[in-house]
Amino acid sequence: MRIRQKQKLSHLFGLAIGLFALWILLSGKFEIKFLLIGLCSSLVISYICLPFLMIENPDSGKKFFVFGINYLKLFSYCLWLLGEIFKSSLDVIREILKIQMDYEPSIVYFSMPYENPMASVTLANSIILTPGTITIDVMEGGIFEIHALSKSAAEDMLSGDMPKRVASLFGETCEFKPLPELTVTGSEKGGKFI
Amino acid sequence: MEIRNILTVIFMTAGFISFAASAIGVFRMKDFYCRLHAAGVCESAGLVLCSIGLLIYEGFNITGIKIFMVFLAVFIASPIGTHIIARVAYKRHLQVSAEKELRKEERK
């Protein structure tokens, strides 16, 4: 109980310091009046918002703080993601500007049951940010449903590089499992999705 | 100063090229989901390149930090819109591909 309260206090003050830094950056004024107003409002806001920022895992009932991420790891992950974005957007631009369009859209599935809901959100967000792949749905049990523009994008997704990186970012230990028996290619008529 | 201007021009040009490519792609692609992919190019690569160019031009001051914040907000929030559009279309059983081919067969 005590440990939990200590954690709560550290979350509260971390959030308040972050909001206060944002206030200073956006206002750019260093007079005492403005600093005091900013300090008070950031404390009040972080006290009110803290319960909303604790996300619960519906299965195990464990609670996770939204901003409780290792920021050094997050920075290196973002750099890697930027590189991926450039690579795959070059691929998509090549597909767009081809005179004879021959891409094959398909829907692929894989399962990655994260404990932390923020990990699923991060993975889904980074999949959509990489051009050529869109997360259509995240189902129960951590099954991701992904629409891929071309064959190479689908293979990239099924190689499981990105889910493993997100797992190491959040310190999770769960297995990546591609589900090829569910995979549907767009040209199949009379399939499940028509 | 000179090098900074040249770098800005290079990054902004690359950003505009990717914006143009995604605009072309929205018209050229054959089905709804593929058009979403084409629109995704502008909201990730185009945005990243343009804001890097603006950041280099502005340097590290308050305006630069504000540009970076705008970039961060769009970077986090824009995939949500794409996801919602794709999900609603999928739940409404919009066909994944081959819709136009089917229509052509009906006309014949």
- Which A residues, 42 through 81, put their C-beta within 8 Å of a C-beta on chain B? none
Same domain, residue pair A49 and A16: yes
Decide if B31 and A93 are in contact by the 8 Å CB cutoff. Answer: no
My answer on whether A172 and A137 are in the same domain is: yes
Q: Which of A14, A41, A65 is the last residue of a domain?
A: A65
ipTM: 0.82
Mean pLDDT, all residues of chain A:
84
pLDDT at A1: 61
Map residue A25 onto helix, strand or coil: helix
Per the structure, the complete domain to which residue A6 belongs is given by 2-65
3-class secondary structure for chain B?
CHHHHHHHHHHHHHHHHHHHHHHHHHHHCCCHHHHHHHHHHHHHHHHHHHHHHHHHHHCCCHHHHHHHHHHHHHHHHHHHHHHHHHHHHHHCCCCCCCHHHHHHHHHC
**Per the CB < 8 Å rule, is B40 touching A97?**
no
Give the model's pLDDT for residue B97: 59
The answer to whether residues A91 and A153 touch, using CB atoms and an 8 Å cutoff, is yes
Query: What is the C-alpha to C-alpha distance for residues A122 and A126, in angstroms, rounded to an integer?
Result: 6
| B29, B87, B97: residue with CB nearest A136 | B87
First-to-final CA distance of chain A: 53
Among A13-17, A98-102, A185-189, the minimum mean pLDDT is found in A185-189
Q: What's the average model confidence in pLDDT over A104-119?
A: 86
Instruction: Tell me: do A53 and A85 sit in the same domain.
Output: no
CA nearest to A57, candidates A125, A141, A133: A141
- Helix, strand, coil shares of chain A as percentages rounded to 5? 55, 15, 30
On chain A, the residues whose CB falls within 8 A of the CB of B66 are 25-26
Q: What pLDDT is attached to residue A189?
A: 39
Find out whether A118 and A154 touch, Cβ atoms under 8 Å. Answer: no
Residue after which a domain boundary falls, among A50, A65, A80: A65
A128 interfaces chain B, CB cutoff of 8 Å: yes
Give this prediction's pTM.
0.84
Residue A193 maps to a domain:
no
> Same structural domain for residues A92 and A44?
no
Most A CBs within 10 A among B35, B42, B44, B99, hence the mutation to make, goes to B44
8 Å CB contact between A4 and A63: no
Nearest chain B residue to A81 by CA: give it: B44
- Spatial separation of the C-alpha atoms in residues A193 and B94, rounded to whole Å: 8
pLDDT band at A117 (very low <50, low <70, confident <90, very high): confident
Identify the bridge partners of residue A185 per DSSP, sorted by sequence position.
A106
Same domain, A85 and A154: yes
How far apart are the C-alpha atoms of A160 and A173, rounded to whole Å? 14
Q: Does residue A142 share a domain with residue A77?
A: yes
Distance from CA of B3 to the nearest CA of A (A): 23
Judge whether A101 is closer than 8 Å to chain B, CB to CB.
yes
- Ranges of each domain in chain B: 2-107
Radius of gyration of chain A (CA): 21
pLDDT tens digits, A130-177: 988 999 888 887 888 888 888 888 888 888 888 888 888 888 887 888
Q: Where are the beta strands (DSSP E) in chain A?
A: 54-56, 63-65, 106-111, 133-139, 143-148, 177-178, 184-185
Same domain, A51 and A81: no
Q: How far apart are CA A82 and CA B52, in angstroms?
A: 12
Q: How far is the CA of B14 from the CAs of A86, B18, B37, B45, B78, in angstroms?
A: 11, 6, 19, 9, 21
d(CA B93, CA B95): 6
- What are the 10-residue block averages of pLDDT along chain B, 108 residues in total? 89 92 88 86 88 89 88 89 88 64 48
Indicate whether A191 belongs to any domain.
no
Report if residue A169 sits inside a domain: yes
CATH code for the domain of A174 = 3.30.70
Window 29-68 of B, Cβ < 8 Å to A: 29-31, 33-34, 36-38, 40-41, 44-45, 48, 62, 65-66
Same-domain pairing of A158 and A126: yes
Cα radius of gyration rounded to whole Å, chain B = 19
- The Cα–Cα gap between B103 and B108 comes to 9
Specify whether A148 is located in the same domain as A162: yes
Look at residue B54 in the predicted model and tell me its pLDDT.
92
